């Protein structure tokens, strides 16, 4: 829901107090972008429980254990507050509330911060849930690839991984052709007209850009300037057809510089694409930041796993330095069809053949039946942000693999004829 519409008052102050009143043995963990901000809501909730708990719910605080960000009630439940990326080892949660994990636009636009939030959620926060526990994620949407975007993408791709109910509350109700308004509002109605009526919201809209209005107030984040592709063009399948001829290529787009701490450099990406008749399948995307020596070992190891029938191509940087890298790599890939491919033209031109086929439904993503690989939501997020995203290495590698299996053999046959 939009900024300044009371989501933290409702969800991080009053709701935890009501929840503990109904479930006094349960434990609540509240996380936000900063520990101090989270603790301020913990203090407000504690004060409500202190004032109204005995009368309304018959619930009392343990006074000696009532710090603003870490307090308990006599029945054993309580509330712990922390910052996103913070730890709470040894603590479990029946209710995990994540309120505004993104502090500002700089964090929202930083892939490093978005990945940090996801790693924290997947490795720390999500693992703290007790059996039957629930997560409440409260956000103003800043970016398609924010934490909400990632959990929703994963739930859509694999409902067995997580199940979410999404409540989207735009500041001004929109036409309900695809998704009905959650509150049943008619088009153009303000969300909280007693605080921000339609005229006030339109004044805010006029003072900002369409991108930020759609993201922050309408909860429809999209890259500034529009996009050239959509993630929904790449449907997910569980396997490729069996018993038919397959042509495969793994294409590598290697970062030109080694990663340095605190920076957000390009990624080394290797995408494997399979062609079966008129259809193409993205089977795997490797996305890493490694030193040059580690990349060399990774390419050799991946070649062994893919097998000698899988073509290997790598983007060849211009000049003698790029040629030297390709020639050196060949020595360790004896028995494999490995070549360097010089890049020509703008990125959008190189992506175009793949995106045209994706738009008409000829390119699928393969996700194994036993789970949803992490690369899939990251790949779809990069597609949705192109060409304005911070990185496009996955698109470069995928387009390179597609162009190889779709066009290389055709060119060779034409030249032979």
| DSSP for 8-36, written as a single string | HIIIIIIHHHHHHHH-TT-EEEEEESSHH
- In the three-class reduction of DSSP (H, G, I as helix; E, B as strand; rest coil), residue 213 is classed as helix
Buried b (16+ CB within 10 A) or exposed e, 131-141: eebebbbbbbb
From 222, 244, 259, give the residue that closes a domain. Answer: 222
Q: Based on the domain organization, do 239 and 257 belong to the same domain?
A: yes
- Alpha-carbon distance of 340 to 281, in angstroms, equals 22
DSSP string, 295-318: HHHHHHHHHHHH-TTSEEEEEEPS
Q: Based on the domain organization, do 52 and 151 belong to the same domain?
A: yes
From 194, 222, 250, give the residue that closes a domain. Answer: 222
Beta-ladder partners of 390? none
Q: Based on the domain organization, do 176 and 163 belong to the same domain?
A: no
Contact call for residues 25 and 75 (beta carbons, < 8 A): yes
Q: How many residues belong to the chain?
A: 417
Q: Based on the domain organization, do 162 and 110 belong to the same domain?
A: yes
What is the extent of the structural domain holding 110? 7-167
Contact call for residues 322 and 329 (beta carbons, < 8 A): no
| pLDDT at res. 411 | 42
Q: Based on the domain organization, do 249 and 392 belong to the same domain?
A: yes
| pLDDT at res. 106 | 78
Query: Residue 2 falls within a domain, yes or no?
Result: no
Q: Based on the domain organization, do 193 and 279 belong to the same domain?
A: no
Q: Based on the domain organization, do 188 and 218 belong to the same domain?
A: yes
Q: Based on the domain organization, do 269 and 302 belong to the same domain?
A: yes
- Alpha-carbon distance of 138 to 94, in angstroms, equals 17
From 130, 150, 167, give the residue that closes a domain. Answer: 167
- Tally the domains of the chain: 3
Query: Residue 1 falls within a domain, yes or no?
Result: no
Contact call for residues 268 and 295 (beta carbons, < 8 A): yes
pLDDT tens per residue, the chain (417 residues)?
999 999 999 999 999 999 999 999 999 999 999 989 999 999 999 999 999 989 888 888 887 666 778 899 999 999 999 998 777 767 889 999 999 898 887 788 777 888 889 899 988 888 889 999 999 999 988 887 889 988 887 787 677 777 899 999 999 998 764 567 889 998 899 999 999 999 999 999 988 877 788 888 998 886 555 566 788 899 999 999 988 999 999 999 998 766 555 456 788 999 999 999 999 999 999 999 899 899 999 999 999 999 999 999 999 988 888 889 999 999 899 999 999 999 877 787 889 899 989 999 999 999 987 777 888 988 988 888 777 666 889 999 999 999 999 987 644 333 332
Is the pTM higher than 0.75? no
Helix locations, 134-212, DSSP H: 147-157, 198-207, 210-212
| pLDDT at res. 259 | 56
Residue corresponding to tokens 């399979």? 274
């Amino acid at each position: 829901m939009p900024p300044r519409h009371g989501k933290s008052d409702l969800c991080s102050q009053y709701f935890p107090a009501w929840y503990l009143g109904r479930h006094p043995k349960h434990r609540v963990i509240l996380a936000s972008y900063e520990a101090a901000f989270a603790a301020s809501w913990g203090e407000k909730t504690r004060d409500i429980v202190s004032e109204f708990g005995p009368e309304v719910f018959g619930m009392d605080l343990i006074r000696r254990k009532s710090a603003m960000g870490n307090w308990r009630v006599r029945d054993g439940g309580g509330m712990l507050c922390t910052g996103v990326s913070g730890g709470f080892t040894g603590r479990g949660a029946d209710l995990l509330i994540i309120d505004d994990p993104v502090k500002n636009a700089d964090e929202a636009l930083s892939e490093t911060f978005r990945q940090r939030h996801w790693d924290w959620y997947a490795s720390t926060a999500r693992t703290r849930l007790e059996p039957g526990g629930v997560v409440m994620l409260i956000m103003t949407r800043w970016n398609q690839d924010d934490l909400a975007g990632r959990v929703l993408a994963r739930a859509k791709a694999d409902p067995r991984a997580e199940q979410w109910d999404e409540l989207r509350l735009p500041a001004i109700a929109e036409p309900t052709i695809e998704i009905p308004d959650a509150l049943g509002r008619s088009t153009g109605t303000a969300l909280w007209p007693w605080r921000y009526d339609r005229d006030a919201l339109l004044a805010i809209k006029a003072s900002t850009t369409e991108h930020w209005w759609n993201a922050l107030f309408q909860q429809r984040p999209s890259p500034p300037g529009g996009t050239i592709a959509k993630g929904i063009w790449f449907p997910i399948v569980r396997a490729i057809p069996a018993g038919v001829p397959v042509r495969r290529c793994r294409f590598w787009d290697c970062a030109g510089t080694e990663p340095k701490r605190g920076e957000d450099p390009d990624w080394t990406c290797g995408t494997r694409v399979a062609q079966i008749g008129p259809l193409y399948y993205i089977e795997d995307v490797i996305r890493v930041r490694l030193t040059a020596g580690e990349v060399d070992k990774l390419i050799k190891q991946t070649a062994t796993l893919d097998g000698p029938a899988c073509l290997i191509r790598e983007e060849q940087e211009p000049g003698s330095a790029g040629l030297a890298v390709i020639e050196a790599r060949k020595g360790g890939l004896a028995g494999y069809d490995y070549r360097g491919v010089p890049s020509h033209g703008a990125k959008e031109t190189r992506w175009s053949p793949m995106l045209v086929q994706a738009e008409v439904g000829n390119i699928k993503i393969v996700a194994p039946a036993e789970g949803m690989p992490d690369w899939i939501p990251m790949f779809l997020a990069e597609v949705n942000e192109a060409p304005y995203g911070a990185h496009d290495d996955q698109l470069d590698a995928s387009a390179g693999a597609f162009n190889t299996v779709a066009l290389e053999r055709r060119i060779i046959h034409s030249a032979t004829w």
